Amino acid sequence: MNSEKINITPADPDCIRVIQITDTHILPADHRQFKGMDTALTLAQVIAAINADVDRPDLILATGDLVHDPLPEVYERLRCILQQANYPVFCLPGNHDQPELMHSMLNGGRLSTARLVVCGAWQLLLLNTMVPGSERGYLSEVELRFLKEQLQHNTHQHSVIALHHPPVDVGSPWMDAMKISNGEEFLAIIRRMPQVRCVLWGHVHQEFRSQLEQIQLIGTPSTCMQFKPNTLQFEKDVLPPAWRKLTLQRDGRVTTSLHWLEEPLAHDSVSWD
């Protein structure tokens, strides 16, 4: 799959199921540890848990920082793990990613970097917030124009917007310094569009929930290590890897839950190389 727009036929048009995974931070094979975690192993374990779940999703969103080192061999490791998913996986870049390389290596089979996914009564918009050479986020004029055009042309479809960086403060000054620098402009656009029901992001390695009028604002923990919330500077949390489930109802309601890898699977039950 490599089109800018992908249509997915949901198993149940009244109840679309989406999984969000984020901040997978895959490393080269000779340097597996990120803050003490084998990120390829934890991602493979999360994918195995998703595959084993009786609640079968229609698609998976992978919301950035997919690799830690943006090299072809690292994207190849990531590709091999994501291909183990039983469902379509749609990828967007984070500040650790290299978009052109990501697009060249994460399209094909069940993997895609499409910017627009249409599924039943819903559309999912995947935006690029990365700034080359910076940890901060920004939405370029190209991204904002794409957002406005899709929302204006598809007023009949409920919308989820997926990003990497948060558009709002999450409560940790060191992390808030890296949010989308033109987040207010982004929020001003979406709050005028009643079909926007949810904004999802990663980057923060922790759970975040807030509300902007009809729009749920949601940050999701990583598939590897987590950051302790409400801190002045970086602190590693003790929480395990996680992923998020979302249910998108035909009437525009969004329900969501976090799932934690409380009991990691045995090493020999997953593969990642």
Residue range 196-238, pLDDT digits in tens: 999 999 999 999 999 999 999 999 999 999 999 999 999 999 9
Residue 121 phi, psi dihedral angles, 5° rounding: -85, 10
Q: How confident is the model at residue 268 (pLDDT cuts 50, 70, 90)?
A: very low
Average pLDDT value for residue range 21-43: 87
Query: Is residue 95 within 8 Å of 134, Cβ to Cβ?
Result: yes
Query: Is residue 27 within 8 Å of 43, Cβ to Cβ?
Result: no
% pLDDT > 90, the chain: 90
Angle between helices 39-52 and 72-82 (to 10 degrees): 20
Q: What is the mean pLDDT of the chain?
A: 93
Q: Return the CATH superfamily for domain 17-262.
A: Metallo-dependent phosphatases (3.60.21.10)
pLDDT at 193 over 50: yes
Q: How confident is the model at residue 37 (pLDDT cuts 50, 70, 90)?
A: confident
For 29, 49, 67, 131, 132, the CA distances from 77, given in Å and listed in that order, are 8, 19, 9, 24, 23
Q: Note the pLDDT of residue 2.
A: 43
Residues 121, 124, 127, CA angle at the centre, nearest 5°?
160
Q: How confident is the model at residue 270 (pLDDT cuts 50, 70, 90)?
A: very low
Judged by average pLDDT, the poorest of 25-34, 87-96, 97-106, 178-187 is: 25-34
Q: CA 8, CA 119: separation in Å to the nearest integer?
A: 5
pLDDT at 98 over 70: yes
Average pLDDT value for residue range 175-183: 96
Q: Note the pLDDT of residue 272.
A: 44
The sheet that has 242-249: what strands, in order across it? 111-112, 89-92, 59-63, 15-21, 242-249, 254-260
Dihedral sign for Cα 116, 89, 162, 138, please.
negative
Q: Note the pLDDT of residue 36.
A: 77
Q: How confident is the model at residue 265 (pLDDT cuts 50, 70, 90)?
A: very low
